[in-house]
Structure 1
Amino acid sequence: MSSGTSAMRVDNGDWFLQSIINLVNDSNLRVGIILCVNGLLVFGDLVGGHKYFKGFINQFVEGRNENINGERLRTSIKACEKIHIKDRLDRQEILPCYIHLQNARIFDSNGTLVSGSEGIWWRGRVSEISGFSLDYINADAIG
């Protein structure tokens, strides 16, 4: 975003959360975050979209069925990453509509884990988030 100008809104998401997402998308920051989404609590590490797509590709290809061509999957998902990067460059003044988490865990309102015990890659619409809390900020390079 340009300094001194406000970013354009394209949905009804929280502008403050969208500003944090922009900061993470444009850096190597990793931010611990807790989201409230339709009555569920989603815990995880907020990461940039570029990190999400790379991690998702690796996890998806590793867990694939042997009858599926891993390289073809990788190429298809990399095309999505390129669209994300181009979209970010084309729309620098527009606040992000999606949030990306690494090591996400999802809990229902009773505190029961509804995702797997290992963290997952998670992507959601900012407009669906009713509240959030930051846990920590880590500026280390994400590998």
Structure 2
Amino acid sequence: MSDDVLAMYVKAANKHDFSLAITLNVNGALVTGTTISAQSYFKKVSENFQDGNDVAQSLSEQLQGASESAAKSSDEEANFIHLEEAQVYCGDSNPTPSKGKFLWRGKLSEVEGFFLGTIAKDK
């Protein structure tokens, strides 16, 4: 079972490209980032495979199809949350990944809690 408020944020991201800085508590870890739509998530992931071999290009095409499908089904129940610029914190250690911009996808039903805003990165 997922949190109705969190599901509302995800539906806003999926339907209206609403982005929100958020930190999620997932199985004892903190996952921090900015919400993006499922369509945007699949499109960005597909771009990672475009210049690869035949298998990578096939994956890219399938992910692009998932992006188009997600755009058409934005009114449906939200089951996953998608974040960009994501980092995962476990305890007091440095985040994973520590550098770069990463996408993250997780089940809403696995989120135990959340707060608005991201964890500040040490500079």
TM-score, length of structure 1 as denominator length: 0.72
Offset of residue 34 of structure 1: 0.6
Higher-Rg structure is 1
* 1:59 is the counterpart of 2:41: no
Offset of residue 134 of structure 1: 1.1
Identity of aligned residues (%): 25
In 2: Cα distance, 1:14 partner to 1:81 partner: 24
Letter of the 1:59 counterpart: N
In 2: Cα distance, 1:34 partner to 1:60 partner: 28
Out of 112, 117, 122, the position equivalent to 1:135 is 117
Q: Over aligned residues, Cα RMSD in angstroms?
A: 2.1
Out of 50, 62, 68, the position equivalent to 1:76 is 62
- The 5 Å alignment of 1:55-134 reads 55-61=44-50, 64=52, 67-89=53-75, 91=76, 94=77, 96-134=78-116
Unmatched 5+ stretches in structure 1: 1-11, 137-143
Distance 1:105 1:49, change over 3 A: same
In 1: Cα distance, 2:64 partner to 2:13 partner: 20
Residues paired across the two proteins, number: 118
Q: 3-state SS of the aligned residue for 2:48?
A: helix
Letter of the 1:79 counterpart: G
Offset of residue 116 of structure 1: 4.6
Offset of residue 69 of structure 1: 4.8
